[in-house]
Amino acid sequence: MEHPINILERYWKYTSFRPQQEAIINSVINGEDTFVLLPTGGGKSLCFQIPALAKKGICIVVSPLIALMKDQVLALNNKGIKAMAITSGISYSQLDTLLDNCIYGNYKFLYLSPERLQQELVQDRIRQMHVNLIAVDEAHCISQWGSDFRPAYKNITLLRQLQPSVNVVALTASAKPEVVKDIVAELDFIDPKIFKQSFYRPNLAYMVFHENDKYYRLETILKKHPASSIIYVRNRKLTLEISGFLNSKKITATHYHGGLSNIDKDANMTAWLNNQKQVMVATNAFGMGIDKPDVKTVIHLNLPESIESYFQEAGRVGRNGEKAFAVILKNDSDITLVKNQFLSVLPTVSLVKQVYRKLCNYFQISYGEGAYLTFDFDFNTFCKTYKFSSITCYNALLILDRNSIITLSKQFKNKVSVQFIISNKSLFNYLNTHQDIAIIVKSILRLYGGVFDHVTKIDLSKIAEKASVSEGRLTHILKGLEQDEIISLNLAKTDAQVTFIEPREDDKTINRIARTIEQQNKLKQQQVKSILDYIENDTVCKSIQLLSYFGEKDSEKCGICSVCIRSKKGNKPEDINTLKKRIIELLENGEQSSRVMLEKLNCEPEVFKKVLKLLLEHQIIGITPTNTYKLSHL
């Protein structure tokens, strides 16, 4: 058997392992049932990939995240390692062929969603495979107490029955002690070897600031630390708004959300990864599988939904070991917003039933039918058709997805068909007066020969690449050609695909998961309470608060978080008295805005606000009609 370090050097070009990686790898190679809890960026995937490469046979990887599966398969294939992912939208005959390839084609990795394990064909083929390891990624999904609990994860024990002599490695980045215990029990581990790396990040300063003007504080932080950064926001619209604001302030920024085309996602990602853009403004769709070591700051402009998701997102900074900052900017409206965003939109069992029935009707699924049928899905049109609130409806669809009733894959695409409705000669006469679009029209003609004779489906990304234009520009030109009666155009947009996993049974289908829905709603309420407690607690070190949440007790103060810094600087009477004098001296020269004073004083904003409040209460200073400050006796 080849030594793990040789495999690491050959495929990943590293000469040493990260902390605990080698011990975990040896445990897995030795056939032990192994539990791995490594925080984000700890290198979990190597803990199963290297043992699988060291042994003969194929490793089965169970993961709920289709995008991450595809990323890992692509990365392995690029290294010359044979890997495949079986996701939704694959026909029975394709599935049959792919599984045969796993048996006879020297594949090393087969990535599966837990739902696939329900299929008899998949089970039958797995029995015939030479399996060397079973890896359970995002293992917290198997625990009813874990965030993102997925009942289909219970099916993983089937793998142990199909391959009883094969050991299992379970991996997760965030799990409380009760979740760890649950995972080990659910996967039927025998004498488990448990590896837990401390969640403590000595170089990471956790900051929570109360800000009435978040945009100004955002600009200040990014100019003070002009290095690679991520800003997490609540919705797609804000990614555009914030990136536009930053660019207007000469801070280079791009954006990322689930609705972008793959071409735009890749372009924006590449610009940020190569440091052509300092800032990535994103929804929480961004970051999974990204390992950029030089990220200096992660800023949450809106509150995250849980400590688990916050810790994972914050963990994307400072992987190079240098000091880094995880910042939450909050104000008085955030508590109401987070409750509206995550609690008031929790779907009831009755709503989930209603959404499921309407979804089946929308795609004309008959009772008792529909299993493994896949449809392009325009979510907004669906909500308008049945007058659903988009947020609540989306959450109901996520529940159906997590509980293996459907698979919902986010993938924005244009479905476009075109036919030229004028003669070839008339078209070229038209192009004589529209030279600027000639290359686009010629690109279409060269790619699609029958476009004069019949309606032809076209691929916007291919045409855009051939003509060297953006998809947005191409769409605009096609609409112009339609308006000029040169082409007939059908431009339909979808932002997702839906695959029905189970046959339609209406209420019976949902009744089976009703208890799980209610339990997960309760868990969500607890998670929101935990994040609100975290942002409101200004007396306990932020690092200690996070470590305590994950079961690490008796931790020492970090010394660099917002609470620790405030306790060092802001609570000493002499600091406050000194700052009072400095503010009065500034105002003796005339009226000043709080922003200008803060820049000149270069002090902690929280202490500055506290002193301003004291001076106002004692009527030493006053506020002018233009919201500047002045000395009361002047």
Q: What are phi and psi of 36, to 5 degrees?
A: -125, 120
Gap between the Cα atoms of 447 and 164, Å rounded? 52
Question: Quick check: 252 and 278 in contact, CB under 8 A?
Answer: yes
Q: Is residue 385 in a domain?
A: yes
Gap between the Cα atoms of 268 and 261, Å rounded? 11
State the residue for tokens 């169970």: 62
Q: Which residue has the higher pLDDT, 144 or 522?
A: 522
Whether 464 and 520 map to the same domain: the answer is no
- Inform me whether the pLDDT recorded for 179 exceeds 80: yes
Q: Tell me the pTM.
A: 0.72
Q: Among the ranges 19-28, 137-146, 208-217, which has the highest mean pLDDT value?
A: 19-28
What pLDDT score does 199 carry? 87
Q: How many domains does the chain have?
A: 5
Whether 46 and 112 map to the same domain: the answer is yes
State the residue for tokens 């900052």: 325
pLDDT confidence bin for 116, thresholds 50/70/90: confident
The string of pLDDT tens digits covering residues 508-534 is 999 999 998 998 899 889 999 999 999
Q: Is residue 627 in a domain?
A: yes
Q: What are phi and psi of 234, to 5 degrees?
A: -75, -35
Whether 96 and 130 map to the same domain: the answer is yes
What pLDDT score does 558 carry? 95
Helix (H) or strand (E) holding 489: strand 487-500
What number is the average pLDDT over the span 69-92?
A: 88
Question: Quick check: 319 and 293 in contact, CB under 8 A?
Answer: yes
The fraction of the chain above a pLDDT of 70, given in percent, is: 97
DSSP code per residue over 229-271? EEEE-SSHHHHHHHHHHHHHTT--EEEE-TTS-HHHHHHHHHH
The string of pLDDT tens digits covering residues 323-374 is 999 999 998 888 888 888 788 889 999 999 999 999 999 999 999 999 888 8
Q: Is residue 531 in a domain?
A: no
Gap between the Cα atoms of 481 and 473, Å rounded? 13
- Inform me whether the pLDDT recorded for 149 exceeds 60: yes
Q: Is residue 81 in a domain?
A: yes
Final residue of a structural domain among 196, 227, 246: 196
Query: Which two tokens mark 28?
Result: 């897995």
Cβ atoms within 10 Å of 615's Cβ, excluding its own: 20
Query: Which two tokens mark 628?
Result: 């500047």
Gap between the Cα atoms of 365 and 290, Å rounded? 38
Q: Is residue 417 in a domain?
A: no
Gap between the Cα atoms of 565 and 201, Å rounded? 17
Helix (H) or strand (E) holding 194: strand 193-196
Question: Quick check: 147 and 140 in contact, CB under 8 A?
Answer: yes
Q: Is residue 613 in a domain?
A: yes
Gap between the Cα atoms of 311 and 622, Å rounded? 42
Gap between the Cα atoms of 55 and 342, Å rounded? 45
CA dihedral 463, 466, 467, 473 (to 10 degrees): 40
Would you say the C-alpha torsion 29, 78, 69, 116 has a positive or negative sign?
Answer: negative
Q: Which residues contact 359 (CB under 8 A, 6 or more apart)?
A: 382, 397, 400, 406, 498
Locate all alpha helices (DSSP H) within 487-570, ordered by sequence. Answer: 507-511, 514-536, 542-549, 562-569
What number is the average pLDDT over the span 585-605?
A: 85
- Residues forming a β-bridge with 6: none
Gap between the Cα atoms of 310 and 308, Å rounded? 5
What number is the average pLDDT over the span 90-99?
A: 86
- Residue 110 burial (10 A CB sphere; 0-12, 13-18, 19+): buried
Q: Which residues of 491-500 are buried (b: 16+ CB within 10 A; e: fewer)?
A: eeebbbbbbb
Locate all alpha helices (DSSP H) within 368-437, ordered by sequence. Answer: 379-386, 390-402, 424-432
Gap between the Cα atoms of 532 and 93, Å rounded? 50
Q: Any idea what the CATH number is for the domain that residue 503 is in?
A: 1.10.10.10
What pLDDT score does 572 carry? 55
Final residue of a structural domain among 196, 214, 238: 196
Question: Quick check: 516 and 509 in contact, CB under 8 A?
Answer: no
Q: Is residue 368 in a domain?
A: yes
Q: Which residues contact 277 (CB under 8 A, 6 or more apart)?
A: 252, 253, 254, 268, 271
Whether 36 and 163 map to the same domain: the answer is yes
Q: What are phi and psi of 176, to 5 degrees?
A: -75, 165
Nearest in space to 299 (alpha carbons), one of 365, 388, 377, 209 = 209
- Inform me whether the pLDDT recorded for 119 exceeds 80: yes
Domain span including residue 287 = 204-331+537-562
Final residue of a structural domain among 196, 226, 245: 196
Q: What are phi and psi of 163, to 5 degrees?
A: -135, 70
The fraction of the chain above a pLDDT of 90, given in percent, is: 57
What number is the average pLDDT over the span 299-303?
A: 95
Whether 31 and 119 map to the same domain: the answer is yes
Whether 240 and 352 map to the same domain: the answer is no
Question: Quick check: 224 and 323 in contact, CB under 8 A?
Answer: no
Q: Is residue 336 in a domain?
A: no
Gap between the Cα atoms of 356 and 368, Å rounded? 14
The string of pLDDT tens digits covering residues 449-506 is 888 988 888 888 788 888 888 877 888 899 999 999 999 998 776 667 898 989 999 9
The string of pLDDT tens digits covering residues 209-245 is 988 889 999 999 999 999 999 999 988 899 999 999 9
What number is the average pLDDT over the span 79-93?
A: 85
- Inform me whether the pLDDT recorded for 591 exceeds 70: yes
Query: Which two tokens mark 93?
Result: 């005959």
Mean pLDDT over each residue of the chain, to the nearest integer? 89
The string of pLDDT tens digits covering residues 387-425 is 999 889 999 999 998 888 998 876 655 578 899 999 988
Whether 170 and 131 map to the same domain: the answer is yes
What pLDDT score does 496 carry? 79
Whether 324 and 441 map to the same domain: the answer is no
Q: Any idea what the CATH number is for the domain that residue 580 is in?
A: 1.10.10
- Residues forming a β-bridge with 297: 229, 325
Nearest in space to 357 (alpha carbons), one of 368, 348, 365, 345 = 365
- Inform me whether the pLDDT recorded for 569 exceeds 70: no
The string of pLDDT tens digits covering residues 312-324 is 899 899 989 999 9
Whether 253 and 373 map to the same domain: the answer is no
- Residues forming a β-bridge with 491: 416
Gap between the Cα atoms of 382 and 20, Å rounded? 48
Question: Quick check: 338 and 303 in contact, CB under 8 A?
Answer: yes
Whether 253 and 314 map to the same domain: the answer is yes
The string of pLDDT tens digits covering residues 539-554 is 999 999 999 999 898 8
Whether 321 and 452 map to the same domain: the answer is no
Gap between the Cα atoms of 215 and 553, Å rounded? 36
Whether 320 and 385 map to the same domain: the answer is no
